[in-house]
Structure 1
């Protein structure tokens, strides 16, 4: 063991110790590593900073942008809505569906990209169901890693091992060769996370002591909107058809305040915010707020040609990505107190509807449009989120008191959702087909997102999580340093010596363990490059089939569950889940052992020794 190797191992030990202590931050430790490595003389500046041009780093940055495009167009939240609808109030069902969805999508595209896409989905669902994000983030990461065990193209190490088999003059793996073992590991992973999720309950003050944010449901309840919401369809023979709302005076004559209009167009339903110029069409579904829940409207429905429809939940919750609520108060300099709600002209001036009034902390029965406002009153306004944000700037007459938590789920480019899906589909097809490298496929997806205006440049730059990229870039030089100083060769020779004359199952277990341990310090792709020839050569020396040995390396390279730096997938969820280094060790190490046991016993069943 030479002096250079000792210095590299010492630096690696210091970095891992700082990661465990979580002081300073992980990305700061990575920067310290990039400064320290050239000072040892083992690597020059060019090789130390080469990670910034590494295709995997560029790929991760591009996938952050793709994920943000899916958020801005509302696709991520629609997926979250689907998960919530299927899971109901069951955290167990939600965790199962989340892991299955992430693993399924990750089997045909980058697991890092899948996790980046699912993080905002999981955070949104956790907020709605009031589940600590920590209970979903690590299961999401584990599902992303397991997805690499499901198909040949799911992760780079699989392709590395496949290429090594072909280089040795053997047939490579088929597309689904790993699938039987991968499905077993996925089932094990779901059961394991269900059993250990209590270990992920946050203990930190930031999450435990945080006051819950106000939601749309909270605001609707505080202003007694629940009893006044209705959905009414415009019949073909309705006298309202093809007329503008400001000509109908529905609020004045019938006490019907139209908030928004659901209109079926081709294969989707559009939500149109109601304005005075909105023309009603036959078949439109009106989302209305009644002046009073006690008003007798059955005769009015018949007269106006409106058909009542069932309303299973508040339409504010159903359309939370577009339709919002906000509380509005009057600052001392406001000129509005003393005027009536009708005189405010909110719909005409601000494209918003006043749907509630509270006085002295109590919601008034119904909405009395002729009631004169007082300085201490608060109004509840409804409409497009963009109009609500614009109202915040009118500080002279209005003061927006609070915005509900759903404001974080606003989809500013919701109408571009089909184009975002097209961009995502093009990226996946290019990745699966192998026509271009994965990083090129992701960059093409980003360019399509921009061309279709699903995302703008400013949003794209904000979407990239730079601390994650710095952490990955800072750790990549260790692989080069260990190779140049002979550390990898030394480890491989020691491993071969340890195998000795042990039985095939023991050798498979040793290969799995060694691959997993080496993968703690260098990328799983580099680990597969180093271990695949060792596995194949060992099998040929012993007169055994090389396929189970090669497959065990591929599986172990994906089993990067033990630390937050074992894989970029784990690193992605550290921030959202507010995890510490020890959280991954406590949950990931036992699971890695279980995966090793399952793999060692199942692989020879798929490929006999």
Structure 2
């Protein structure tokens, strides 16, 4: 039996502070990370912990691991891997949440079987945010399914979460055979299926579909295409082996003057994929080049050009190269009063040579010119629509003397900074996952090596790495960690365990499982699931001894309950990470998490005695 410990002044203070924190979390005043900092200060002030103990969370390896995984996740975003995964999910599910939620949860749970659930969430947060943006879905509708799927991944395999290994180790320490790698899977899969159905049924509680903000919205590329009458003015032409253009420079061809054709960019083959070439006067055309053209009248000019010069028309999948928005962007600029471009045409101003951009639209007042603008002279106040690579569009911010940058489209926020580094980021991610699965080195060291390699391969910069870390989430985790130590030092955990033994010790085995699950889940509200497993595993085996029953159903119940940390945003770091992106409150987790926890308990109490008899 567990040693009886009386209520002390120190324990009363800890419980009062814990209640105060929960009340502030529930009211969401002040911010959750501020509450965490208040608790870090309060515990040493009341003499419960030393200052070193209260601040120990800042050096906790799991906190550092989460921070490092944020960096790895940002590396996946910057290289476009996150975009491709999100695009794949959206392509498979479309905008249908009834397909998107199950696919997302299955994918996250699959990853979580072999690596840290907090790591999975840190990596998937930017992926999900992009999916929400593309599918016009409020992030709150997908962030909680993401968190719950990551928690349930801990119910799938032996290495999926530390509580499983702790319970397994306690069995081995007692001289018993531990759990196998897939011992948890028969319990985790049914729970995951029920969770998917539950998320689909309750998704309307997460918020409505994203709607337009009351703030002024930036235009989209498609709106500019319509506004400047650019439809049916684009073409992609491949340079065939017989083409007369091969080896000639753009200055020699002078297609703008001879055919009213404006070459916007050139796609050129390389070892891996294709690269975009900026057209300059001395740029030579090669066999296999794909020329992106803006012409006044596509049907006649493009077909005629193909016949004369040996070209082939290539398909288009968007409107006016909106399908190329990762490489090519647009911007609206205005001609100021002191501009040297006034009274010059596009050719006279040598606009492409000066800015590496092409002028494809002109608006004077509210009227947009239709057709060719090559011979139109710029006037004060003219608005130009320019097109070209994003890096040159961004340089327009410094051209305030001759051009004033008026507007950038929404698509600028979705541009992948370094897509060419995607293979390097994939290799690094594969290495990190391998190290996490095999446990060759500590997880935090594996993540640190991954971050250093991402920096070495220029997948991420130091400044971007610092910006990628969600500091409020880390502060919240750090602030709640000292409570586990405080409860242990003051005897609070021992009192709770002793009370459980007294309440359910003489009951039937299934009732004992219910009490054990409930106690583990409730304890997990206040301390980490790892600490919960450490404290409850011995209690579970003591209950089995008292009932002269097999220890395995009791040990499995503790492991599953430790992963059922659905009820509050501070029950698990996984929940904490999605608070900000999902814009959740404390009670969002309560109203969704409590029924999910009860469902998990019912499934556990039903299945465990069947698969692991008493």
Over 6 Å off, 4+ runs: none
Q: What residue number does 1:27 align with? A: 33
2:148 to 128, 142, 149: 142
Q: Is residue 459 from structure 1 mapped to residue 464 from structure 2 by the alignment?
A: yes
Could you tell me how far 1:145 is from its partner in structure 2? 1.5
Q: Following the alignment from structure 1 to structure 2, what is the Cα–Cα distance between the partners of residues 344 and 87?
A: 49
Q: Is the 8 A contact 1:257 1:291 kept in 2?
A: no
Alignment of 1:81-480 (within 5 A): 81-201=87-207, 209-293=214-298, 295-314=300-319, 316-480=321-485
Q: Which of 530-539 and 515-524 deviates more?
A: 530-539
SS of structure 1 residue aligned to 2:359: strand
Contact in 1 for aligned 2:233/2:320 (Cα 8 Å)? no
1:555 alignment partner in structure 2? 560
Counterpart residue number, 2:507: 502
Distance in structure 1 (CA, Å) of the matches to 2:90 and 2:279: 28
Aligned length: 608
How far is 1:44 from its partner? 0.5
* Structure 2: gaps spanning 5 or more residues: 1-6
With over 3 angstroms needed to count, the CA separation of the structure-2 counterparts of 1:90 and 1:254, relative to structure 1, is farther
Check whether the contact 2:218–2:407 (CA below 8 A) recurs between aligned residues.
Answer: no
Give yes or no for the alignment of 1:566 onto 2:571. yes
CA offsets, 1:557-603, max 9 Å, x none? 11111111111111111111111111111111111211222222223
Choose 518-527 or 273-282, whichever is displaced more.
273-282
CA distance in 2, matches of 1:92, 1:226: 35
- Higher mean Cα deviation, 302-311 or 487-496? 302-311
Contact 1:535–1:546, Cα closer than 8 Å, also in 2: yes
Structure 2 partner of 1:584: 589
Instruction: Name the residue aligned to 1:38.
Output: 44
Pair 1:16-2:22 in alignment: yes
Residue 344 of structure 1 aligns to a residue whose secondary structure is coil
In structure 1, runs of 5+ residues without a counterpart are: none
TM-score by length of 2: 0.94
Which whole-Å CA distance do the structure 2 matches of 1:173 and 1:179 have between them?
A: 11
Q: Does 1:67 align with 2:73?
A: yes
Give distance in 2, aligned partners of 1:218 and 1:583. Answer: 37
Bigger drift between 538-547 and 528-537 goes to: 538-547
Q: 1:103 to 1:203 in 2, by over 3 A?
A: closer
Q: Secondary structure at the match of 2:154?
A: helix
Partners in 2 of 1:276 and 1:193 — Cα distance? 58
Note the alpha carbon deviations across 1:257-297, whole angstroms, 9 max, x for none: 33233344345343444444444332333332223346443
Distance 2:513 2:45 in 1: 39
Shift, 1:98, TM fit: 2.2
2:489 aligned with 1:484: yes
8 Å Cα contact 1:57/1:472 also seen in 2: yes
State the Cα distance separating 1:207 from its structure 2 match. 8.1
Alignment partner of 1:543 is 2:548: yes
Answer yes or no: is the 8 Å Cα contact 2:57–2:481 preserved in 1. yes
Question: In 1, are the aligned partners of 2:332 and 2:405 still within 8 Å (CA)?
Answer: yes
How far off is 1:486 after superposition?
0.2
Q: CA RMSD in A?
A: 2.2
